[in-house]
């Protein structure tokens, strides 16, 4: 896997009521308007972890928190800014349909989202529970009607002072609880948990890319029906 240069920025942000606006990297998109628009990220989609919460007693959760110790996030209650953004750490050439890279491809409705700290409280990650509606690629014992847990690095942390700090990877959004998504998933060390490689929210009449990448954004003018038909054709003829 290609390694990408990583840089962590801690920046003071000025928020509106709900959204953080981040300049977007553009590529060869179908819509000329999309090339000039900035992606607005709703920070409410980022779950909140309580910095002062008691340590996890669940053995599986502790094991997952252990592997995120000594995190690049360096979560710090004394940080002067209200956000930490990691840049230049995603594959901007990721295919719109990364079916070869994904262990599983599912359509599901996100029913819950939570954030957790690493055991040493230097890192933060978010977990989402999705009810599986359809399976397009299955590498595990996934079943329609069952729940699957998926993760993404980042989230929000509330410190004892009451201040909330956002930790995010540039170009990567979080799923919205209640939204219906097509998710490309990769395996983690935990048997029943996946990482979100990328995804799309399937809205009533449009597709919304979860990540602000050139190839994924190129499908945002598509209807869900057209979009899924193209994906199924690719899966049938890899």
For residue 36, CA distances in Å to 16, 29, 75, 101, 132 come to: 20, 11, 33, 30, 35
Q: pLDDT tens-digit profile of 82-121?
A: 999 999 999 999 999 999 999 999 999 999 999 999 999 9
Q: Give pLDDT, residue 102.
A: 95
Query: How far apart are alpha carbons 169 and 227 in whole angstroms?
Result: 26
Query: How far apart are alpha carbons 162 and 82 in whole angstroms?
Result: 12
Q: pLDDT tens-digit profile of 178-190?
A: 999 999 999 887 7
Q: pLDDT tens-digit profile of 116-152?
A: 999 999 999 999 999 999 999 987 789 999 999 999 9
**Residue 191 pLDDT grade (very low, low, confident, very high; cuts 50, 70, 90):** low
**pTM here?**
0.83
Q: Which of 18-22, 132-136, 172-176, 226-230 has the lowest mean pLDDT?
A: 18-22
- 129 with 149: CB under 8 angstroms? yes
Query: How far apart are alpha carbons 3 and 177 in whole angstroms?
Result: 31
- Percent of the chain, pLDDT > 90? 68
Secondary-structure breakdown of the chain: helix, strand, coil percentages, each rounded to the nearest 5? 15, 35, 50
Q: pLDDT tens-digit profile of 1-15?
A: 444 334 455 544 433
């Amino acid at each position: 896997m290609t390694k990408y240069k990583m840089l962590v920025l801690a920046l003071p942000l000025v928020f509106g009521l709900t959204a953080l606006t981040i300049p977007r990297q553009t590529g060869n998109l179908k819509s000329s308007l999309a090339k000039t628009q900035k992606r607005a990220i709703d920070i409410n989609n980022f779950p909140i972890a309580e910095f002062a919460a008691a340590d996890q007693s669940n053995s599986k959760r502790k094991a997952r928190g252990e592997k995120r110790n000594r995190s690049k996030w360096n979560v710090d209650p004394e940080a002067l800014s209200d956000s930490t953004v990691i840049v230049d750490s995603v594959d901007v050439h990721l295919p719109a349909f990364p079916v070869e890279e994904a262990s599983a491809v599912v359509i599901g409705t996100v029913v819950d989202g939570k954030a957790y700290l690493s055991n040493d409280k230097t890192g933060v990650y978010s977990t989402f529970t999705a009810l599986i509606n359809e399976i397009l690629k299955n590498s595990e014992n996934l079943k329609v009607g069952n729940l699957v847990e998926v993760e993404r690095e980042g989230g929000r942390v509330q410190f004892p002072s009451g201040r909330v700090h956002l930790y995010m990877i540039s170009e990567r959004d979080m799923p919205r609880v209640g939204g219906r998504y097509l998710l490309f998933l990769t395996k983690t060390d935990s048997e029943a948990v996946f990482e979100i490689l990328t995804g799309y929210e399937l809205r009533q009449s449009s597709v919304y890319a979860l990540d602000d990448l050139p190839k994924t954004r190129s499908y945002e003018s598509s209807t869900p029906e057209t979009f899924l038909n193209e994906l199924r054709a690719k899966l049938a003829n890899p």
